[in-house]
Every structure is written in C-alpha cells, then in structure tokens.
A and B are shown apart, each in its own frame.
Chain A
Amino acid sequence: MSNRIFLPLVIALALAVPFFTANTYFHHLMVLWMLFSLLALSLNVIIGYIGELSFGHAAFFGIGAYTAAIVGMNFGLAGIPGLLLAAVMAGLFGFVIGYVSLRIVGPQFAILTLGFGSIIYTITNYWVDLTRGPMGISNIQPLGLWGEGGVALTGARGYYYLTLFLVIAFAYACHALLNSRTGRAFIATRENAPLAASLGIDVFRIKLLGFVVATAVAGVAGAVYAHYLTVITPDVMSLQYVAALIIMVIVGGRGTIAGPIIGALIYVVLLELLRALGPLRLVIFAALLTASVIFLPGGIVSLWRRLTGEETKPREAAE
C-alpha cells in the first residue's frame, strides 16, 4: 500500500505550503483551488458515482453563497450556523429539484438540471429586494465562529486551512462511501440500474441521496466563498461556472477522488497562466474538455494509471 506513505506526505505538504511563501496572492490561489476542489468533488458524486450529468451544479453553489451572505447581513449569523444553513438550504433545493428531475435519466436529466439552474439564476437576477439583483451583494462580513464578534477568519491563509480541512473531510467521506453499502448501491445504480433494482436497491432514492449530498456540499463551498471574497454576484451561477465545474471533473477524472482535485488545480493554474490571453483562455478550456472527452475519457488520473502500468480497474462510467 503505497497510499499509506503517499497520502500523509501529500497532506503534510498541503499543510506546509502556505509557509513556503508570504505572497498572499499565492495563498489566494490556494484558497480558490481548495474551493473548486470541494465543488468538483461534490459534482463528482453526481457525475462519477450516481452516473448522471448535472448542468445545474453552480446554482447550488450560488444558493449557498447567497444564503450565507443574506443571513450573515440580516441576522449576524456569519459563523458555523451560517455554513450549516447554507448547506441545508442548498440541500433542500437539491432535494426538490432532484425529486422532480431524477425521474428522468440520461441527457434529458442534464437538460432539466440546466433549466432549473437557469431558473435560479434568473430569479437571483430579478429578485432585487432579496438579492440586490445583478449588482450582487458586497461587504459580506468575514467568517467567524458563531457570527459577529469574537474570532473572525481574515486573510487567505486562514481560509486556506479551513477549505483544506473541508476538502480532506469530504474526500475522506467519498473514500469511505466507496467502501460502504450506500456507495456500492451508487455504483451499482450507475453501472446497471435494472440489475441494481433486482438486488433490492431503490434506484430513485439512491440517486436522490447522492444528489442532495452533492448539492449540500456545494452550498457549503458557496458559503465559504461568499465570506472569503466578501462579494457575490449572480454570475457565480452562470453557465461559465457550470461548464468550469464539469471541465474540472471530466478533465481530472470522474469517479475518482484525486481526479476532481487535480482538475480544479489545472483550472486554477491555467486561468492564472493564461490571464493575458483574455477570452482565448476559455477557448483553450473548451478545447481541453473536448480533447479529454474524446481522447482521455478517464481524465488525467487514468493517464497516471496508464503510465505506472497499474492494472486499470475503471471506476468511470462505462463507455
């Protein structure tokens, strides 16, 4: 088990990284990487484990962000209660939307989630009294333990450790999932739904469970994002973000844990490196997605497996 050595090493490295440099911009990029990792890992539950494509995931990120911002401003709940509320809110929306959409599977499901995402985006833009419309909400207070006053998280380093903790916790939960009865039901449903049903698995409920967990986690990521950047606009729910999240999961490697984290890293790094190129970088992302889908359906992670000559046990959706 090389993982026994490898994994603690990676975690130790991740903990030490902020001390290599005092460059706060670098810390900022690390926070973004971790936030996107959390989001990509949550979307991976839908794409990689229950085997459905969701084109509406950014909306749940947005719901979490707006929930945290609004309850933070109106009730002074900027701490852990706000994060929990964001998770509950996003998960609740996930439940309702999943309950309606998961009756349909395949590409139609993808379109439905796109439609729901667009509804939420549109409402956020037009419900000015609640969301301040396209201008967004600014001056969101930093994350405290229990809200205003007391210890508040400021500076990128603090947020980095918080998001790192969330990523490690959720990655571990995903790892545990795959070795559990629930996880086996996820994978069975993804691979062959009629056979899964014949073994006693309630396919609809299992998919709904995965969808709700994924959306709730996206909500937490959104809440942290809102407190960290202190500004949010409806654009966090736009199609660009939907596409970005899908690119991270697919390019990194769906159905794996390392894949989405690597995908998020590639996204953040390329976004930085190609900043000078303007709109062209999005063309490059699109090309990356297309090339990955066509030539490397297992994502970057499968490439590594191929190189190390390890026998491939594809966890990705069967092609």
Chain B
Amino acid sequence: MNAETILSVAGLTKAFGGLTAVKDVDLELNRGEILGVIGPNGAGKTTFFNVIAGSMPPTAGTVHFKGTDCTGMRADRMARLGMTRTFQITSLFPALSVIENVRAATYRFTKTGWISSILRNGAWRDEEAAVDRAAIEALEFVDLAHRADANAEALSYGEQRRLEIAIAIAAKPDLLLLDEPAAGMNPEEGQRLVAMIRGIRDTGISILLVEHHMRVVMGVCDRVAVIDHGEKIADGKPADVVNNPDVIRVYLGREAVNA
C-alpha cells in the first residue's frame, strides 16, 4: 500500500449462510479520488458497502483505512477515524431543525464536553463557534442555508437528500462513502449532485460511491469498479469500463434487457 492509498480492501468476502454476497474483492482508493462501484441490482454492492462502513463484519478479508486495520470495526469508531457514510434510505434527525441536524454531525472533530458547557469556558465558546461555522458552511455547500431553521421533516425529498450530504461533510471526514445518493432523483437533481460531489472532492475529501445510476457514475467518477455476483469484474477509467466486453455483457446488457 503506498502513501497515496486511503482505503485498501483485500480479499473481502461476505457470506450469509450458503449465499456469498461478496466474493474475494480487492479494491484500493487513492487520496482525493472519486471511485464508483457499480453493478446490477443484487450484485452485492450494498453488502460490500455495509461491510466497509462497519455495519456488518466480513466473513473473510481485510479493510485498511489510512493504514489502520479496521476490519469489522464498529461504525462509530470508523467514523471517528475519519470515514463517514450516507444511507440508501433517507436518514436524518427528522424532528430537529436543519441547522441542528448539521450541528450534530460535528461530533467527531469536537472535544469539549458537558462540563465545559456548564462552565462556559473559552474552549467551549471557541468550539461552539467552530461548530456553527462548520454547520453553516456545510449548509451553504448544499445550498440549504436558507432553510436552516426549518424542521428536517418539512423539507422536500431533494432537499432532504442534500441535507444528508451536508450532515456527512459537516463531520469533516477524510473519506466519504455515498450509498446510492442519486436514488429517486430526477435528471436535473442528478446533475446538481454530480457538481456537488466534485465540489466535495475539491475540499480534499476522497469519495467512494455505490450507485447504479450510470449517468451519475460516469459523469463524476475518476475510476469505476464493476461488481457482478459478488465478484469484481472490471476496474478502471469510466471510458475503459464502459467498453469492457464483460461489463457490457453482465451489466449494460442486462440493463438493456430490463429497459
């Protein structure tokens, strides 16, 4: 693993009883890279994602993040190391206001506790200011600053998906895992999402994206890995991958049949 590698997955396997959802997958992600993982429905993308994100332990194989072995590590420890994720199904703090949603996300880079807030000491005051700044920056980034005081559940679907991204980046991670961020979006929202993901990368955050919206993946990713039946069948630049005969057969072919 070289210094530029932020995430390194080796021989990752996940079996549920007799069914092997992910089979011996190797994958590396470089700092500042946007890597897309695609595959037809049921190919094992979501399982792959969940194992990396710490939602479930793998059956075999290892995951290294920033040089630390974090195979099977709990999600919250993973997040404290610098890896945050979004969820496939909209996941927010629905009863809280938009700004409170984002403020809650600053947990991993803040330090002062309850006692400081009781004493109202300098460290607490500085940190609260930093939290506010980070929250507003994140909201501005996804263009939701004008809805800061609204309740999260009052937002439209598209706004809620953007708020999820704001929550994930307010945590200031080194690596962001996006689980089908374009699900349910119309083409216009998809375009906006592509621009947003590029913007996130430009702030120095590496991105792993699991998605089956081809247009989003091809438009934004530096590199694409294709998974089918739990196995990685291709890994390369988007332009190369779309021309890979295996990929055309198992992925695009099937999609064409489905369509």
Contact = CB atoms under 8 A, between A and B. Distances in A.
Q: Answer whether A and B touch in the complex at a CB cut-off of 8 Å.
A: yes
Interface of A: 172-173, 176-177, 179-185, 187-188, 191-192, 194-203, 313-318
Given A179-B128, A314-B95, A199 B104 contact: yes
Given A181-B127, A187-B96, A198 B85 contact: yes
Interface string B62-79: 000000000000111101
B76 A197 contact: yes
B161 to A, nearest CB: 14
Contacts of B104: 184-185, 187-188, 196, 199
B117 A183 contact: yes
Which of B96, B100, B124, B128 is the most central at the interface, judged by chain A CB atoms within 10 Å of its CB? B96
B151 to A, nearest CB: 7
A201 B85 contact: no
A180 B113 contact: yes
**Which of A179, A181, A187, A317 is packed against the most chain B CB atoms within 10 Å?**
A181
Given A173-B118, A181-B106, A199-B79, 20 more contacts: A173-B114, A176-B114, A176-B117, A181-B112, A181-B113, A182-B113, A182-B117, A184-B100, A184-B104, A187-B104, A194-B87, A197-B79, A198-B53, A199-B105, A199-B167, A200-B80, A201-B107, A314-B151, A315-B95, A316-B95
A209 to B, nearest CB: 8
A112 B95 CA distance: 27
B84 interface: yes
5 contacts: A183-B117, A188-B93, A196-B76, A198-B79, A200-B171
A76 B192 CA distance: 72
Contacts of A195: 87, 91-93, 167
A188 B107 contact: yes
Interface residues of B, number: 40
B120 A176 contact: yes
Nearest to A213: B114
Contacts of B198: none
A228 B237 CA distance: 76
B116 interface: yes
Nearest to B152: A191
A210 to B, nearest CB: 10
B171 A199 contact: yes
A88 B213 CA distance: 56
B146 interface: no
B107 A181 contact: yes
Nearest to A202: B76
A181 B105 CA distance: 10
A313 B118 CA distance: 23
A194 B90 CA distance: 12
A180 B107 contact: no
B156 to A, nearest CB: 19
A313 B97 contact: yes
Contacts of B85: 198
A192 B113 contact: no
B108 interface: yes
B253 to A, nearest CB: 35
Contacts of A184: 100, 103-104, 106-107
A199 to B, nearest CB: 5
Contacts of B91: 192, 194-195
Contacts of B107: 181, 184-185, 188, 199-201
